[in-house]
Amino acid sequence: MNWKREVVEDPYISISLVILVILVAACFYVQSYVGVGVFLLLAVYFRLHQWYLLKVGEGVMLEKTQKRLRLHCGEEDKWVFHLENMGFPIWGATLKLSFKDIVEPTAHPYSTGIENEIEVAIPFSIRKNEKGCVSLPIKGKRRGLCRITHLQLEIPHLFGSGKVLLDLLDSVPTTVMVFPSSSSVRMAEHKLTLRQGDVATPHSLFFDVFHPVGTREYVQGDRFQDLHWKATARTGDLQTKVFAPATQKEWMIAINLSDRYAITNHLEDIIKHTAFLMQLAEEQNISFSLALNVRTSGPTPYIYLPPGSGRKHRQRGLEFLATLSTDEFTMPFDLVLQHMYLQRLVPSVCIVAGALGSSEEAILEKIGKRRALIFKLDLEEEQGVVTKWSRTWKISS
């Protein structure tokens, strides 16, 4: 654990030591041994005072375990920091924390500095060879990933003459992620797709072979593997399995964060509407995937969340959205669409958000020819509207 150590000593202590040495010499000269003893004891006291300031805080360590606290906007929890002291006991110390205003303390007074950075001071004491923790009650304020930007431990002297400042040079591994809040979206009605799937529906050309719902009499043309042998043995006539009608129901949400040469000004609105779409997909048991034109390392050169469903999958999607910022390195959105088109990653329904140019619309037209329904997320009077996409750019001759 690397600390930057600074000792703030009362300037009168050094002056007092010099005066005491002069007084001890004077007492020797006049042979006043009582005075020599008194002044020596005072000199020892001031020297021990300096020695304590030099040694206290040397064995303090912050636990480096990776832990991430997840919150929604307005949700409260405790941000816990674990410390261990292998040196002198520490009493009356103060742990000072600085972090962005993504979260705010709820039980401790705090001040707001430059760039909306919050500074909070927490009382702290710990004995020798003891492990302790500091708990900071917080509340999610806005979307983002909150890290400790500065951690300082201020240890005062036992008698108030001086203090030691320990500034942590290492990064603090524990973080707080605040998920984005959702904003409602009006969605246009769309027809079911003509693709094989496992989502039950009253009318479909396909069936879920893993969900038999009964039997019927065999007719010529039925597949051999669909015969129900137990029902056949019971009735004495060939019986065929009847399966529940099903179709594919999957969304892909593709977001273009770029607008010309910068991040779009509607970033927060797009994120809120996307969070609502993922919530809607979870409620309706619809599988969804997510693509963002943010450069990253991995199998794909951009952020891509493979298809999935349920609460955990939605949480993974919210984590991607929570970490987005205006400092992201983006790639051209048409390259993202081209990669998804070539890799056949686009499912039956594709919802695109953000600015679209002629190159993006040309690729979307190719995707639409593969029987994929393409929808566009637009912002109308601070409300999200999902409507069926139609090409507006003319084909160059």
User: For the residues 326-332, what does the mean pLDDT come to?
Assistant: 89
Please indicate whether residue 34 or residue 370 has the higher confidence score (pLDDT). 370
pLDDT of residue 136: 93
Query: Poorest-confidence range of 77-91, 192-206, 256-270, 331-345?
Result: 192-206
- Alpha carbon distance 176, 322 (integer Å): 11
- Alpha carbon distance 294, 277 (integer Å): 20
Q: Model confidence over 160-169: pLDDT tens digits?
A: 677 889 999 9
Give percent of the chain above pLDDT 90. 39
Structure tokens, 48: 């021990």
Q: Are 119 and 98 in contact (CB under 8 A)?
A: yes
Q: What residues contact 119, with CB distance under 8 A and at least 6 apart?
A: 96, 97, 98, 110, 111, 112, 113
Determine the number of helices (DSSP H) and then strands (DSSP E) in the chain.
7, 25
Please indicate whether residue 217 or residue 86 has the higher confidence score (pLDDT). 86
Average pLDDT of the chain is 82
Angle at 314 between CA 313 and CA 319, to 5 degrees: 100
Question: Would you place residue 243 in the very low, low, confident or very high pLDDT band (cuts 50, 70, 90)?
Answer: low
Q: What kind and span of H or E run contains 303?
A: strand 302-308
- Alpha carbon distance 144, 231 (integer Å): 58
Q: Model confidence over 264-285: pLDDT tens digits?
A: 999 999 999 999 999 998 988 8
Strands 3-8 and 163-168, by their bridges, are: antiparallel
Structure tokens, 327: 């400092």
Strands 373-380 and 262-263, by their bridges, are: unpaired
Global confidence as pTM? 0.75
Phi, psi of 304 (to 5 degrees): -140, 125
Chain position carrying tokens 């393409």: 374
Q: Model confidence over 78-105: pLDDT tens digits?
A: 999 999 998 888 888 899 999 999 999 9
pLDDT of residue 228: 73
pLDDT of residue 267: 92
pLDDT at 349 over 80: yes
- Alpha carbon distance 158, 164 (integer Å): 11
- Alpha carbon distance 334, 346 (integer Å): 14
Query: Count of alpha carbons within 13 Å of 41, Cβ hemisphere only?
Result: 5
- Alpha carbon distance 291, 242 (integer Å): 38
CA distances from 145 to 32, 80, 218, 268, 349 (A): 69, 16, 60, 15, 31
Q: What single-letter amino acid sits at 13?
A: I
Query: Poorest-confidence range of 55-59, 234-238, 285-289, 374-378?
Result: 234-238
Chain position carrying tokens 């021990």: 48
Question: Would you place residue 77 in the very low, low, confident or very high pLDDT band (cuts 50, 70, 90)?
Answer: very high
Q: What kind and span of H or E run contains 83?
A: strand 76-85
Query: Poorest-confidence range of 24-28, 109-113, 115-119, 352-356?
Result: 24-28
pLDDT at 205 over 60: no
- Alpha carbon distance 26, 39 (integer Å): 11
pLDDT of residue 41: 67
In which order are the strands placed within the sheet that holds 163-168?
3-8, 163-168, 148-156, 90-100, 117-126, 110-112
Question: Would you place residue 382 in the very low, low, confident or very high pLDDT band (cuts 50, 70, 90)?
Answer: confident
pLDDT of residue 207: 47
- Alpha carbon distance 251, 277 (integer Å): 10
Structure tokens, 213: 């719902």
In this structure, the number of other CB atoms found within 10 A of the CB of residue 34 comes to: 8
**Nearest by Cα to 350 from 318, 375, 370:** 375
